[in-house]
Amino acid sequence: QENQKIITINPNDEFAGLDMGRIYEDRGEFDKAIQEYQKVITRKTNKNSMASGGVDSGSLTLAYDALASLYTHSPKKNLGKALVFSKKVLSIEPKNPNKQYNLGSIYFLAFQYAQAEKHLNIAINLDPENHTFNSSLADLYQTTGKYDKALNIYHKILQLLEADENR
């Protein structure tokens, strides 16, 4: 209710729209969540298309991320749409290892293993000691029968864990 009032008073408050989308998701009202995230995107792209400074990545990235996640993990699962929104995030933040990982994970779920491997490797190159990124790539290799590569990564993860314990 409060967020709806804020948007009524200030329709350009994208963060209130994002909050409303998350609340709708929490309540299982996924169509309403999608609508709120889409409104944020529409407001941001319309507002920024009039300005010459380009698109502000803050709330726009969060809205794209939210839609990618919703289409990946909710009952509204649609990996094609998840890929579209995850790619939009990556177009704004290409050097963000978490965004590369997210796209790689969606490709993995969509059985597009070559693309998954590409983006997981980019994530690892950007953050080589991230256990989750490495583990996901090892899972991919195991799934695709590349057992030697999977074992090498699992050994790397063990070394990373040992180094963490010694810090």
The per-residue pLDDT for range 26-84, each reduced to its tens digit, is 999 999 999 999 999 998 887 654 443 444 578 899 999 999 999 999 999 999 999 99
Ordered DSSP codes for 67-105: HHHHHHHSTT--HHHHHHHHHHHHHH-TT-HHHHHHHHH
The per-residue pLDDT for range 97-153, each reduced to its tens digit, is 999 999 999 999 999 999 999 999 999 999 999 999 999 999 999 999 999 999 999
Whole-Å CA distances, 34 to 19, 30, 70, 95, 156: 12, 6, 8, 26, 40
